[in-house]
Amino acid sequence: MGARRLPLLSAACALLALALVLAGDPYREDCRNKTYPPSGPTYKGNVPTYVINLDLPPYKRWVNVMNDKKTELKNVMKNIKTLVNEFFPGGKFSDFVEGKMVQLLSSLPHPFREEIEGIANTSGAVLGDVVLFNVFYEIFTVCTSVVAEDKTGKLYHARNLDFGLFLGWDIKNSSWTVTQQLKPLVVALEFQRNNKTLFRSANFAGYIGMLSGVRPGAFTLTMNERFSIDGGYLGILEWILGKRDGMWMGFLTRTVLENSTSYEEAKEKLAKTRLLAPAYFILGGNKSGQGCVITRSRAASLDIWDLDIKQGTWFLVETNYDRWKPPLFLDNRRDPAKKCLNQTKQENLSLSTIYDVLSTKPVLNKLTVCTTLMAVDGGHTETYLRECPEPCSPW
Ligand SMILES: *[C@@H]1O[C@H](CO)[C@@H](O)[C@H](O)[C@H]1NC(C)=O
Ligand SMILES: *[C@@H]1O[C@H](CO)[C@@H](O)[C@H](O)[C@H]1NC(C)=O
Ligand SMILES: *[C@@H]1O[C@H](CO)[C@@H](O)[C@H](O)[C@H]1NC(C)=O
Ligand SMILES: *[C@@H]1O[C@H](CO)[C@@H](O)[C@H](O)[C@H]1NC(C)=O
Ligand SMILES: *[C@@H]1O[C@H](CO)[C@@H](O)[C@H](O)[C@H]1NC(C)=O
Ligand SMILES: *[C@@H]1O[C@H](CO)[C@@H](O)[C@H](O)[C@H]1NC(C)=O
Ligand SMILES: *[C@@H]1O[C@H](CO)[C@@H](O)[C@H](O)[C@H]1NC(C)=O
Ligand SMILES: *[C@@H]1O[C@H](CO)[C@@H](O)[C@H](O)[C@H]1NC(C)=O
């Protein structure tokens, strides 16, 4: 590493925030056009594809992925531990977390526990670290998701995956160290049973939940973090303390992609299953009008926002705020995304125009790890690694 880093919520973040307030928002730009096919300084490459064979015992499923990505996984975990130790010096806290994580593992249901054990075994990473890596996304993911329908009734679903907020600001590079280190871990996955593809996803190697995925011909799904007082921290704490009546959101999305066969069934499961942490689920179906954003508290669905083509609602944009509330004034990615989709118009909607929207700052920002584009027809997915050169919003 060697780069100079600052731990967690640091002076640098506070200064950046202050600069944003004083300067208005210097990072806005006009809606981008013709950025697709991806090229230029905001594009950092494609990602490799792996088949995950669900007919194998869970312990063996991730061997190929982890053989290739073990070094990168260990690097990011090492960095996270260093950051935590800078914040809680002495190393006691991270030892404590590591120990708790191993205990936590024994309470995870099949097949998740076995898959995590297999990943630790293949990669040689510390078991507690692999568990932590799988818990992480319940807390630090800020994203933009779009589900939209074109004039012919075809559905598209896309997202920017923004990750690593407050996880080590690299002053020299002016980038988030964890965000940078996650890029080489991004993989496209094809989950098969009986040699048939059940679903595809874009993911981080070592993470067994699902952040974005498509079940060919049936539905598309992404999840975004929802900040709330009764947030992930509390649920995870309760889980550690033994109150285990909620499900990890990443494991719920995985279960839905693996075992739900229709849009309606997926919607029902995502709306009703008790969760550890609040979340937004963005779901697209396979016919006109099938698209929604489900706003979840831990216990219940607070709101289901559906596409409504007749009323002119042909797209839905979700970032990390309830749709009935204004976004945090420092972090308004929602209005720029909506503005650009409005400008695109339904007639011109396609994966390439959606890529334009997701390439416009600050929808694209320094936390953006990758962009995933999906179409339910044929279960099409494309994932591109991203970079946001200066001037660029830190989130
Ligand atoms: C800056 O980031 C690039 C990747 O974008 C990395 O290769 C390089 O090592 C980083 N530089 C420092 C000083 O960390
Ligand atoms: C993209 O096209 C729209 C509509 O034609 C235009 O308003 C906008 O300024 C263009 N953006 C850029 C960056 O050229
Ligand atoms: C991985 O599993 C194999 C067989 O189950 C076992 O022999 C080996 O010791 C394990 N390795 C690690 C690092 O846990
Ligand atoms: C999957 O295909 C391979 C050959 O491509 C075959 O050897 C294997 O038996 C098949 N597995 C199943 C479960 O059908
Ligand atoms: C999906 O269902 C199968 C069969 O009931 C089960 O073995 C598997 O564990 C389920 N998958 C998940 C991720 O829960
Ligand atoms: C949409 O999904 C349902 C449930 O999986 C399926 O029965 C139907 O054939 C699908 N329709 C299309 C057009 O793919
Ligand atoms: C987008 O267009 C809709 C309907 O024309 C309008 O209600 C909405 O305010 C527009 N949003 C933005 C951000 O321009
Ligand atoms: C759609 O895009 C084409 C060229 O890319 C442009 O000529 C046309 O005006 C656009 N249509 C709308 C409705 O914006």
* Count of domains observed in the chain: 1
Q: Is the pLDDT of residue 3 over 50?
A: no
Average pLDDT over the chain, rounded to whole?
Answer: 86
Q: Is residue 176 part of a domain?
A: yes
pLDDT tens-place string over residues 5-24: 444 444 455 555 555 554 45
pLDDT of residue 174: 63
Q: Which ligand is nearest to the CA of 130?
A: 3
Q: What is the pLDDT, as a whole number, of residue 187? A: 97
Give residue-wise pLDDT tens across range 382-392: 999 999 988 88
**CB crowding 116-141: b at 16 or more within 10 Å, else e:** bbbbbbbbebbbbbbbbbbbbbbebb
Q: Is residue 72 part of a domain?
A: no
pLDDT range class, residue 120, cuts 50, 70, 90 = very high
Whole-model pTM: value is 0.89
- Give kind and range of the element (H or E) at residue 51: strand 49-53
Q: Is 310 in the pocket of ligand 1 (CB under 6 A)?
A: no
Give the per-residue pLDDT at 90: 72
Per residue in 311-363, pLDDT (tens digit) is 999 999 998 888 888 777 667 889 999 999 999 999 999 999 999 999 999 99
- Residue 171: its pLDDT value, please? 60
Segment 218-241 shows an average pLDDT of 75
Question: What is the separation of C-alpha 123 from the centre of its chain, rounded to a whole number of angstroms?
Answer: 23
Higher pLDDT, 89 or 81: 81
Residue 246: pLDDT above 60?
Answer: yes
Nearest ligand 7 atom to the CA of 338 is 13
The more confidently predicted of residues 240 and 16 is: 240
| Distance between CA atoms of residues 280 and 142, nearest Å | 11
Specify if 154 maps to a domain: yes
The pLDDT of residue 241 is 64
The pLDDT score that the predictor gives to residue 95 is 79
Asked if the structure places residue 197 within a domain, the reply is yes
Its domain, for residue 225, covers 28-46+141-386
Cβ of 114 closer than 6 Å to ligand 3, yes or no, is: no
C-alpha 268/C-alpha 187 separation (Å) is: 29
**Is 168 inside a domain boundary?**
yes
User: Residue 379: is its pLDDT beyond 70?
Assistant: yes
Among 1, 43, 180, say which to mutate for ligand 1: greatest number of ligand atoms within 8 Å of CB: 180
Asked whether the bond before 391 is cis by omega within 30 degrees of 0, the reply is yes
**Is 341 contained in some domain?**
yes
State if residue 345 touches ligand 7 by the CB under 6 angstroms criterion. no
CA 321/CA 210 separation, integer angstroms = 20
Whole-number Å distance, alpha carbon 253 to ligand 4 midpoint, is 27
Would 68 be classed as within a structural domain? no
- Within a domain: 192: yes
Cα–Cα distance list, 113 to 72, 232, 326 (Å): 22, 20, 39
**Residue 121 Cβ < 6 Å to ligand 3:** yes
Q: 14: how many CB neighbours lie within 10 A of its CB?
A: 10
Query: So what's the pLDDT on residue 173?
Result: 67
CATH number of the domain enclosing 40: 3.60.60.10
285, 291 contact by CB (below 8 A): yes
- List the catalytic residue out of 13, 31, 143, 370: 143
Higher per-residue confidence, 100 vs 363: 363
Q: What are residue 22's phi and psi, to 5 degrees?
A: -70, -35
CA distances from 25 to 161, 330, 362 (A): 22, 8, 9
Q: Which amino acid is at 282?
A: I
- The per-residue pLDDT for range 289-325, each reduced to its tens digit, is 999 999 998 888 999 999 999 999 999 999 888 888 8
Q: Average pLDDT in the 76-99 region?
A: 76
Judged by its nearest atom, the ligand closest to the C-alpha of residue 250 is: 5
Closest ligand 5 atom to residue 255 Cα is 13
The closest-lying atom of ligand 8 relative to the alpha carbon of residue 343 is 14
pLDDT in tens, 153-190: 999 999 999 876 655 566 666 667 778 888 999 999 99
- Give the pLDDT score at 164: 62
| Residue 294 bridge partners (DSSP) | 281, 304
Pocket of ligand 8 (CB under 6 A): 345, 347-348
Active site residue 13: no
